[in-house]
Chain A
Amino acid sequence: MKHTIKHNPSYALLDVELSPGESIQAEAGVMVYMSDDIHINSILGGGFLAAVLRKILGGESMFFNVFTAKEKPVNVGFAPDLAGDIFKLNVSDTPVVIQKGSYLCSETAVSLKTRFGGLKSFFSSEGVFLLEAGGSGSLYLSSYGGIVEVNVDGEYILDTGHMVAFEKTLDFTVSKTGGWKSTIFSGEGLTMRFKGHGKLWIQTRVPRGFISWLMRFLPS
């Protein structure tokens, strides 16, 4: 399977070339184009109950689409809704936990499960559900804005909403920025404090920032 990421970092598009028999699974609705000779199969994302919960509580699609090349090599293009970058990640020994909106597509050897993020995930505005990618293979994630890879060594503080994905060797708690005063007045609000060692991927922009900028121009 070959891939090219075009027009990044702002309006990235992922082009995947599948050899006959090869498959790739993607979040429903992210396909931009595809060759004629492709078979599409819709599967429930992360098990039945998880899929239903994703739909009800997360507002996401219940299904993933699996694109399979039939007899000749084919191309499929994927792009997320928002402007931003796409990057490839190799999942191997350490599973990766992904913020719900950042998953784009992955090889079928990558196993995906929806998992409960707990209260901390809820308060970090990353949603109640997170996606966990295990197994081994390529995983393509999207970001709003650019993407930065961070090697967390001990502790790392991140503003809520910037998290894209992290290795499962890391854990995070949600805490206030400083004292109560700075939490309320500094405009920084709550932050995510990562602990442990491993990789963390962050996005340089947060959708909510754009939305609140936009709100100022909307007639009330």
Chain B
Amino acid sequence: MNYKATLYSEQFTDGKVSVELQLFHGDLLIARHDSGSVEFDLKNAKLVAGGFDNNMLYIYPDHNVTSPAILVQDLSLLKEISASSNEIVRQKAMQATGIQKKKKFNKIAGIILIIVFFSGLMSIAFTQSAGIIVKLIPVKWDEKIGELGYPSAIASMAPGSTKIEDKYVLQSIEEIKNRLSVSLKNTPFKYNITVLKSPVENAFALPGGKIVIFTGILLKVDSPEELAGILAHEIMHVEKRHAMKQIVSRMGLSVLFQVIVGDMADAGSVILEVGSELLSLGYSRNMETEADKEGIILLSNAGIPADGMIQFFKKMSENEKELKSMSWLLTHPLSEKRADELAKIYKKYPPLNVKKFSTNWKILKSHLK
């Protein structure tokens, strides 16, 4: 078989000439050009994979990598050499193939590293600036994302769960909610609570103010104050727009992309579309701490003792088995440090004008069964 190649040698005016290559007996390479030919004995030759894309083969007559040299772009020559009957030649071909593969691998690894590096930089940049960006997003979008996210959140946590319509339960929870929301000054959000019948021991808030409580967690709670603590924490996630910040920081790139392409309306629709899926990602540690602190301040303003909430945490963490089954605690991990911090904040913000709730929790529980 003939291969097109380039012969580099000082004897030519341009330093190189086009040649036709042919392999004889598996170890003798002959390069023919217009004014003669050159022979390379492959037993003494050096084979090197090269070129910017690593898809070329350099052949040198000995260990010296300066000219004369033959450059072949058709790598099927390397395959033909690998089939040589001479052991030394065969090994040289195999080595060159190995180097070529390794270099290709390095290239891919490099690409991945750079992508990781840049996406890391981007995500740091967006986490830092997410708060600023979120301020520019209208509150209406929170509600929209909450609405869009609701069905998928329910479907993933408690499929087929039904709404609780019991008046005593709903009124009791409404009372807690009202006490809390009256204490929220200038909130742009309207809170509405849905209670769903499901063994899932969880409660969560969607951006915009929709709060979902499963009966599973209501059965674990022993007083209205404990539930108020959980709700205060969830409400603060909404008030501080944590979900929106998460969405912005994680989606930063694609939003940026939309802005560059120039269609802001599109950026909005991307946020809405992907945003609802991203709700399940959870909050960062800092966000949890912020919701803890702000939650206790809210309880204090509402005249609800926060030790109910701390008590609930302690009660749950003492029973390790229960801790594992309790999904609200899984997403809100309780360490001793966190409990201490909660207690410290509580000391700083004791409840103002404590008022008891009218609910008898035992009666409420009986209504759930």
- Which residues in A have some Cβ–Cβ distance to B below 8 Å? 52, 55-57, 97, 116, 118-120, 122, 128, 151, 153-155, 166, 168-172, 195-197
Q: Say yes or no for B111: interface residue by CB 8 A criterion.
A: yes
Residues in chain A near residue B107, CB distance under 8 A:
118
In angstroms, how far is the closest chain B Cβ from the Cβ of A201? 14
5 residue pairs bridging A and B, Cβ less than 8 Å apart = A118-B114, A119-B106, A153-B8, A155-B65, A196-B50
The DSSP consensus for interface residues of chain B is: mixed
Which of B52, B58, B114, B261 counts the most chain A CB atoms within 10 A? Answer: B52
A169 touches B71 (CB 8 A): yes
**Selected contact of B67 from candidates A118, A128, A154, CB within 8 Å:** A154
B66 touches A154 (CB 8 A): yes
B260 touches A153 (CB 8 A): no
Interface residues of B in 101-129 (CB under 8 A from A): 106-107, 109-111, 113-114, 118
Task: Bin the interface of chain B by size.
Answer: 20 to 34
Q: Say yes or no for B365: interface residue by CB 8 A criterion.
A: no
Q: Say yes or no for B199: interface residue by CB 8 A criterion.
A: no
CA–CA, A171 and B49, complex, Å: 10
- Which residues in B have some Cβ–Cβ distance to A below 8 Å? 6, 8, 15-16, 48, 50-54, 56, 58, 64-67, 69, 71, 106-107, 109-111, 113-114, 118, 256-257, 260-261
CA–CA, A151 and B51, complex, Å: 15
**Selected contact of A170 from candidates B6, B52, B67, B118, CB within 8 Å:** B52
Residues in chain B near residue A196, CB distance under 8 A:
50-51, 56, 58, 71
Residues in chain B near residue A153, CB distance under 8 A:
8, 15, 66-67
**Selected contact of A171 from candidates B52, B69, B260, CB within 8 Å:** B52
A169 touches B56 (CB 8 A): yes
**Selected contact of A119 from candidates B6, B69, B113, B257, CB within 8 Å:** B113
In the complex formed, the residue of A with least CB distance to B113 is: A119
Residues in chain A near residue B50, CB distance under 8 A:
169-171, 195-196
A116 touches B111 (CB 8 A): yes
Residues in chain B near residue A155, CB distance under 8 A:
65
A120 touches B110 (CB 8 A): yes
A119 touches B52 (CB 8 A): no
CA–CA, A205 and B257, complex, Å: 35
CA–CA, A52 and B53, complex, Å: 23
CA–CA, A39 and B67, complex, Å: 48
Residues in chain A near residue B113, CB distance under 8 A:
119
In the complex formed, the residue of A with least CB distance to B14 is: A151
